[in-house]
Amino acid sequence: MVSPQQLCNLMFVLNPISGDIDKSELESTIGRYCRERGRHVAFFHTTGEQDLEILRRKLAQEAYHAVFAAGGDGTVSLVAEALAGGQVPLGIIPLGSGNGLSKDLNIPQDVEQALRLTWDYQVLTMDTIQVGGNFSAHLADLGFNALIVERFDKGEARGPGAYVRIATQEYISYEPEHYHIKTDSEEWEGPAFMLTIANANTFGSNVVINPEGKLNDGQFEICLIDPFPNAAAPGILYNLYTSGFNQSSYTRRLCCSRATITIPSQKQVLVQIDGEPMHLPTPIEVEIMPRSLHVLVPPIQQPTTA
């Protein structure tokens, strides 16, 4: 584990457009906080153009003790991909619309509280996933949620309200796809309203899609929601918000370290990976990358004694 005294040279990767948050004072806030604690800080601003390649070059030019992603799930995934397979840990300052991975890691959602990770932390070594050759640190999915993420990404409105409005509009006319899944331990075929490839537990919307999942157990879960009648929707939604995914007769979970997902009717399929929508050719190969990323998380609080 890296000691706090060793976190002296830090980089912060800032996404100026993530979430619905004013970031005009963010750089000065981070800089002041770090300098007051004897940290040297550098900044990298994402532009959406070759960010991963440029970031990797900068990280190769100077030895940083940690790299913090200050943005949403897309920014976190970008920095995580740049660091995966190495020894430099990822830090997260959650500033997006969802901030799903930071919530699963119990990272404070307030900026100054999250900045405590620059000196008060422990290091978690977690798995990552390759989804059709694309990096994922958190969650990827096909089906209904992938469609909503794409519509949300193309829209101008941000925040949970916009997401709910889009989901409500699309639900009325949505037609589930038929999937064939072959894992290293079982095979399944059938229609699904939604299919989530889960390395973690929770969407940024606080929907718990994989309540029993662990970030460092060497496997991922494929969480399926079967097509359901409208009358069942409130109960399914309630279960998802109360960690009751396994309690519904319309849900199932496949545990594996490798899987092939085929959509017989399509040559390409819409997938969202860590909040970023994209179209991938099928079949989609999914594979776990065990213990491939170091992350700064809050220290475990020891119980006080009377």
Q: Which of 295, 276, 293 is nearest to 15 (CA)?
A: 276
263 three-state secondary structure? coil
Token output for 147: 């469609």
Mean pLDDT, the chain, integer = 89
Residue 126 pLDDT: 97
At 304 the pLDDT is 39
Contact of 141 with 195, CB cutoff 8 Å = yes
Q: What value does the mean pLDDT take over residues 29-35? A: 92
Contact 92, 101 (CB under 8 A): yes
Q: Given pLDDT bands bounded at 50, 70 and 90, which one contains residue 150?
A: confident
pLDDT number for residue 1:
47
pLDDT recorded at residue 15? 84
**pLDDT at residue number 20:** 52
Q: Looking up tokens 């399914």, which residue turns up?
A: 236
* 217 neighbors 253 (Cβ within 8 angstroms): no
- Give mean pLDDT, residues 61-89: 94
pLDDT of residue 155: 66
* Segment 81-130, tens digit of pLDDT: 999 999 999 999 998 877 889 999 999 999 999 999 999 999 999 999 99
Average pLDDT over residues 156-166: 66
Q: Which of 228, 201, 70 is nearest to 126 (CA)?
A: 201
| Residues 256-280 pLDDT 10s | 999 999 999 888 999 999 988 999 9
Q: How confident is the model at residue 152 (pLDDT cuts 50, 70, 90)?
A: confident
Q: What is the mean pLDDT of residues 215-241?
A: 94
Q: Are 112 and 120 in contact (CB under 8 A)?
A: no
Q: Kindly report the number of other CB atoms within 10 A of residue 222's CB atom.
A: 24
- Residue 159: pLDDT band (50, 70, 90) is low
Q: Inform me whether the pLDDT recorded for 181 exceeds 90.
A: yes
Q: Flag whether pLDDT at 135 surpasses 60.
A: yes
Domains of the chain by start residue, with CATH: 4-120 (3.40.50.10330), 134-291 (2.60.200.40)
How much is the pLDDT for 250?
Answer: 94
